[in-house]
């Protein structure tokens, strides 16, 4: 089946695409760029770098902008999917939804209206297992956003690895933190994966942090060739 991938450049949309590629043909990435940092539907941290991600993956990108007004932003998502149907003849949409009924129900509704199949490879997946699979499968993922105690500035820019997953698991057991960030605790940016034709090097970034909330804003990147092992 020809599919488009709802894409943010974060770990969930990337891994959902990775899983979908085992059964489907990915024709394009689909990104909604929200002006509202508190968007209910869309990832916003470093979202303007989806163009760079698309180049690194060598996959066409369908992109629309939205004011990010709750519920109204769904019209812009529908517009993006309609464009993907017209330009790339997609028959289905892949999303990285894990546990958000709010997001999943709205994506499913719009897909039904457009006669598209909604594909959610990560739905209700154990979050620790998800993180471990990402590391095992060679995904290089940086934490670029945090929200909530006891996460502090030192977490920004860290790569998700086995040691970090252990810390997230401890926080899950102690305070109920969602280790994959489903409660908005962490935001991520993928710099390399088995799908990437080129890896993304971060040349310049700035960290902003206050009151257990912070972001690593990526200012400049460059694409690098991947060395063969």
Residue 130, both tokens: 């998800």
Provide the pLDDT for residue 155: 96
Q: Give, in degrees to the nearest 5, the angle at Cα 189 between 188 and 191.
A: 145
Burial of 40 (C-beta count, 10 Å sphere; 0-12/13-18/19+): middle
Average pLDDT, integer, range 135-145: 97
pLDDT, tens only, 69-102: 788 889 999 999 999 999 999 999 999 989 878 8
At 194-222, the pLDDT tens digits run: 999 999 999 999 999 998 899 999 999 99
Yes or no: say if 43 and 187 are a contact pair by the CB < 8 Å rule.
Answer: yes
Q: Which residue has the tokens 């034709």?
A: 197
Hey, what domains does the chain have and what are their CATH numbers? 2-119 (3.40.50.620), 128-225 (3.90.1490.10)
pLDDT of residue 229: 47
Question: Can you give the pTM of this predicted structure?
Answer: 0.94
3-class DSSP state of 116: coil
Q: Are 213 and 147 in contact (CB under 8 A)?
A: yes
Residue that is written with structure tokens 């943010």 in the block: 8
């Amino acid at each position: 089946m020809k599919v488009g991938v709802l894409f943010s450049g974060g770990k969930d949309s990337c891994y959902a695409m990775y899983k979908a590629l085992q059964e489907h043909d990915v024709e394009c990435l689909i990104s909604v760029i929200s002006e509202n940092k508190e968007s209910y539907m869309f990832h916003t941290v470093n979202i303007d770098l989806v163009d760079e991600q698309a180049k690194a993956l060598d996959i066409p990108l369908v992109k629309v902008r939205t004011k990010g007004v709750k519920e109204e932003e769904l019209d812009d998502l529908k517009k993006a999917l309609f464009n993907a149907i017209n330009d790339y003849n997609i028959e289905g949409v892949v999303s990285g939804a894990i546990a958000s009924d709010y997001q999943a129900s709205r994506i499913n509704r719009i897909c039904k209206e457009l006669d598209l199949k909604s594909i959610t490879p990560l739905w209700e997946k154990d979050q620790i297992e998800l993180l471990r699979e990402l590391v095992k499968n060679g995904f290089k993922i940086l934490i670029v956003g945090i929200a909530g105690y006891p996460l502090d500035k030192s977490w920004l820019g860290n790569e998700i690895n086995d040691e970090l997953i252990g810390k997230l698991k401890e926080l899950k057991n102690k305070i109920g933190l969602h280790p994959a960030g489903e409660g908005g605790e962490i935001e991520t940016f993928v710099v390399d994966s088995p799908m990437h034709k080129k890896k993304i090097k971060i040349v310049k970034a700035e960290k902003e942090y206050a009151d257990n909330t912070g972001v690593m804003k990526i200012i400049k990147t460059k694409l690098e060739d991947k060395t063969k092992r």
